[in-house]
Structure 1
Amino acid sequence: MIETIVFDIGETITRDDRYWASWADWLGVPRHTLSALVGAVVAQGLDNAEAIRLVRPGIDVASEYRAREAAGRGEQLDESDLYDDVRPALTALRKAGVRVVVAGNQTARMGDLMRDLDLPADVVLTSGEWGVAKPQPEFFARVLEVAQAAPEATLYVGDHPANDIFPAKAAGLRTAHIRRGPWGHLWADDPEVVAAADWRVESLTQLARIVSA
């Protein structure tokens, strides 16, 4: 029985449109150019930050992020960044008695922005706040701490095989792969993903049926 569902953030809860558009504007390149480069590095199995380095070779992404923040052009988030099924799905799960946790690879600032949205979730935390990121096993150890449930009673939902599905499965959690965003669509039917995911979904609203089954 699933007692806790833990959600990845980027391209599971939130769209990445604003994130990449703001980077393109900061770097002074057309948004479509950076978007296409993100797709290219994703297809190669590389970290998506490599798209930024293709635009500006040698860039220190962390330093550039801080420069954006100092210039008042850092991360922003509002209701329009959420996928439409997020609030209905999370609300239904909580009504069903499921503990809802949001935990993904994001900055500490993004954690604050997410909590400002007042999502129907018990806990919202990020890798930046924990000081450890996916796919490291330590991240999923922290996930289990806040899940307050056994690994086999905890379901991790995400779009990225290497960051979400495979390491969560290795940590003993149940997994659900969502066909959403570049990673979710690209690897949705990959045989290794199909084998590793306990469930494959196209909408978060499908999770309510999973926990009630």
Structure 2
Amino acid sequence: MKPAAAASPAAYYAVMGATLGRYRSLGPVVAGGWDAYVELGDEPDSLERAVLGGARWLSWGQGPTVPGCLRVTAGTGADIATAATAALAIIEALEHAGILVVPAVENAVGLLLYLQPATPQWGSAAALAERAPEIATVDPAASDGRALLVELDPAAPIPLPYSLVDGPDGITAVMPVTVDEIAAMTAGMPVDPAPEVVLDRLTAEGDLASGLLADAPQEGTTA
């Protein structure tokens, strides 16, 4: 995969379509953008048509195998190191409760934590924030210098791994990362979820979010 493949949303999704097809099998997917919003069908070219129509991001709707998701974003006066520190504490708590956590970066200041199962007895974002109140909160008005936790649901929506997203620095992509990389972020390692970087990482390191696919249907996967 060459970096040039990410020059446009259409080119990016042309390369990433097969990988995204596996995640589309977890539940209904909506493709959206500033002037586009459409639920993808099972037709092989449904993603291509949606993107050509102006869609840029992909999100899950409701479904029994759609993962849960927490967004961990640096508040005012904070940075990715703060968000990463909070994310590590949350991951430890959730994994201790037997929850599969697949972390990803969505922009230079925020992470997504995908959860399987989606509706476990792990409590709420507020309960998780209380585990590290000095660095995490669910109250936007109290997020100065801290990480803001938001529990996503299909109304939020939940971006698919590898989806393009609109961020503060322009279009980025949801980039799965390892816990070791999050630990490095706490020490100030910068993150660059540019589409071309995500394409190159997928080639070099494989699909780091594939643990979410354990509950995917074995038949009828779209591509």
Scaled to the shorter chain, the TM-score interval is under 0.3
What's the TM-score, normalizing by structure 1?
Answer: 0.26
| Structure with more relative contact order (C-alpha pairs < 8 Å, separation 6 or more) | 2
Q: Give the number of the structure whose residues are more often strand, by fraction.
A: 2
Q: Give the number of the structure whose residues are more often helix, by fraction.
A: 1
